[in-house]
């Protein structure tokens, strides 16, 4: 008898993390599973995989998505017992995810109606439990719907209904499943989900305790403060004779910043144009091509300075040629020797006209030993969408190297930087050029007053100004910002712009490059 090819009978089931290509299937499935309730949106799902990709699971069966679940990490003690789904998930965007938290909070589980009674939900719950063990989390907490309660509401209170279900006298498709999977009841919350009419807006708060949790290995060291010292450099553009002379000036300011024990030093936008003062090229477009020849020397210089002086350096910005195009790029030189880069996204009319600069297309947020930071070069800080995207990705500080030739241009950068600090509850830092380069076309004069800005509230500096230079002189300003105060402010400030956003009225949709 011919050997049977068993492969034609195989239907492979995979539990894996959600990817962007799964969004259409997940949204369609949410419409089937939660009828008369608001389905997932693309921007919410995109936020999930950007912020906490390992906490988002799906079940793929024979190439089809048939189940999914989403979660985030929180420190549950920081939330009110009677919280709502919107509060615990930041309205479905999980921007409140706290990688140093103790609890995994499950915000949704769903199984395609055609594939129920195949233990899909249990597989997803097991994936969550494995994640909690792997990350050494204390517990998994969920706010569970009780969709059959509306059938018994006339004769039972929510508490009575929950008791009947947990005693197996009544069946509820969600609560019964959670009890069977080892979750214990903590309380009943009212007004949990506005559009959950079947549960009459009630939910059960359930918890699964991780018996493998190791409290002897603390996840978080609570701090009364988390100071970060920043030196912003107001750099004078003046004629020099060589790259070596430029390097001497850069090392001098790095040494000054390190002498103050700063964690960051920031140089201005396109301050490397000073190198053109010793190149005999008058055509702006050709001069910029010559300038790009110094890219490797520039990168080597600042990598060495960051390591030698033990300081993270935002290296202003520099024109770089890539595949025939010129980009305005700001490099982050970490003190451990690693390098990141942020392309300027919005190119000014002047940059296009004189230098033919092309724009980047990605908003990046970088991990550092002082938390997450973003870099938004000059004109980019004048577009509030970019800062909001950065803060949703976890940024606590936005650094803005800038170069402006008059007071009006400078004030656009400054006012927008201060506005971004207030509306996004973060710190912003600006660093600009002063002086003049009369022999360099399109770099005749400079105007700057560099500074460090904070949100505006009682816990921060008066007027939201941590420190600022005097205008139009070569100098530095040094200031301390506190990330722990910022964290508390985002929880309990006089106002809370991040939490009070109306996602039901508007949202920012970020297109991945």
What average pLDDT does the segment 460-476 reach?
Answer: 95
Helix, strand or coil, per DSSP, at residue 462: helix
pLDDT digits (tens, 9 = 90+) for 228-242: 999 999 999 999 999
Percentage of the chain beyond pLDDT 90 is 74
- Write down the pLDDT at residue 345: 97
Which domains, from first to last, does the chain contain? 11-209 (3.40.630.30), 227-492 (3.60.110.10)
Q: Are 431 and 267 spatial neighbours (Cβ–Cβ below 8 Å)?
A: yes
Catalytic residue list contains 269: yes
* E strands in 161-291: 184-189, 203-209, 227-237, 264-266
Catalytic residue among 33, 58, 250, 378: 378
Measured CA to CA, the distance from residue 204 to residue 159 in angstroms comes to 9
Helix 42-51 crosses helix 23-33 at what angle (to 10 degrees)?
A: 120
Helix, strand or coil, per DSSP, at residue 273: helix
Measured CA to CA, the distance from residue 210 to residue 72 in angstroms comes to 16
Measured CA to CA, the distance from residue 362 to residue 13 in angstroms comes to 35
Helix, strand or coil, per DSSP, at residue 11: coil
Catalytic residue list contains 344: yes
Per-residue 3-state assignment (H helix, E strand, C coil) for 410-456: HHHHHHHHHHHHHHHCCEEEEEEEEEECCCCCCCCECCCCCEEECCC
- Write down the pLDDT at residue 329: 97
pLDDT digits (tens, 9 = 90+) for 274-289: 999 998 877 888 889 9
Tokens of 367: 């991990």
Q: Is the dihedral of CA 280, 284, 285, 289 positive or negative?
A: positive
Catalytic residue list contains 239: no
pLDDT digits (tens, 9 = 90+) for 88-128: 998 899 988 988 899 999 999 999 999 988 889 999 999 99
Catalytic residue among 269, 351, 382, 468: 269
- Write down the pLDDT at residue 65: 94
Q: Are 194 and 144 spatial neighbours (Cβ–Cβ below 8 Å)?
A: no
Catalytic residue among 129, 138, 344, 364: 344
Average pLDDT, the chain: 91
Confidence of residue 7 (pLDDT cuts 50, 70, 90): low
264 pLDDT more than 60 = yes
What average pLDDT does the segment 178-195 reach?
Answer: 90
- Write down the pLDDT at residue 323: 92
503 pLDDT more than 80 = no
């Amino acid at each position: 008898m011919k050997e049977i090819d068993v492969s034609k009978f195989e239907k492979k089931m995979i539990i894996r993390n959600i990817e962007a290509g799964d969004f259409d299937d997940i949204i369609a499935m949410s419409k089937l599973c939660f009828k008369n309730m608001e389905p997932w949106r693309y921007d919410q799902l995109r936020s999930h995989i950007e912020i906490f990709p390992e906490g988002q699971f799906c079940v793929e069966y024979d190439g089809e998505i048939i189940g999914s679940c989403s979660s985030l990490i929180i420190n549950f003690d920081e939330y009110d017992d009677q919280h709502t789904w919107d509060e615990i998930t930041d309205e479905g965007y999980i921007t409140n995810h706290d990688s140093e938290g103790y609890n995994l909070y499950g915000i949704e589980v769903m199984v395609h109606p055609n594939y129920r009674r195949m233990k899909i939900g249990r597989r997803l719950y097991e994936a969550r439990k494995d994640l909690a063990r792997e990350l050494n989390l204390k517990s998994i907490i969920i706010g569970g719907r009780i969709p059959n309660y509306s059938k018994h509401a006339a004769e039972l209170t929510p508490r009575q209904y929950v008791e009947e279900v947990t005693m197996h006298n009544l069946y509820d498709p969600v609560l019964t499943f959670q009890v069977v999977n080892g979750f214990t009841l903590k309380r009943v919350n009212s007004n949990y989900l506005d559009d959950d009419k079947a549960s009459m807006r009630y939910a059960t708060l359930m918890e699964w305790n991780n018996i493998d949790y190791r409290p002897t290995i603390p996840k978080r060291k609570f701090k009364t403060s988390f100071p970060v010292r920043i030196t912003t450099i107001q750099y004078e553009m003046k004629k020099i004779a060589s790259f070596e002379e430029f390097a001497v000036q850069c090392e001098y300011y790095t040494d000054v910043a390190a002498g103050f024990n700063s964690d960051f030093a920031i140089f201005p936008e396109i301050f490397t144009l000073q190198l053109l003062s010793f190149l005999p090229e008058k055509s702006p477009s050709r001069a910029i091509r010559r300038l790009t020849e110094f890219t490797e020397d520039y990168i080597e210089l600042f990598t060495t300075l960051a390591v030698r002086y033990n300081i993270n350096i935002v290296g202003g910005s520099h024109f770089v040629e890539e595949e025939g195009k010129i980009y305005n790029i700001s490099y982050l030189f970490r003190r451990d020797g690693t390098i990141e880069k942020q392309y300027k996204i919005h190119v000014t009319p002047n940059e296009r006209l004189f230098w033919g600069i092309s724009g980047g297309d990605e908003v990046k947020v970088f991990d550092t030993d002082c938390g997450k930071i973003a870099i938004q070069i000059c004109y980019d800080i004048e577009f509030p969408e970019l800062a909001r995207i950065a803060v949703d990705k976890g940024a606590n500080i936005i650094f803005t190297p800038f170069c402006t030739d008059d007071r009006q241009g400078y004030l656009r950068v400054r006012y927008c930087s201060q506005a971004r600090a207030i509306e996004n509850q973060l710190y912003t830092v600006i660093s600009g050029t002063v002086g003049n380069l009369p022999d360099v076309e399109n770099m005749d004069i400079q105007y700057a007053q560099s500074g460090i800005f904070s949100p505006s509230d009682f816990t921060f500096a008066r007027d939201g100004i941590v420190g600022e230079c005097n205008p139009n002189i070569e100098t530095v300003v040094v200031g301390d910002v506190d990330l722990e105060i910022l964290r508390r402010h985002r929880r309990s400030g006089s106002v809370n712009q991040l939490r009070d956003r109306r996602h039901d009225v508007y949202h920012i949709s970020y297109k991945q490059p």
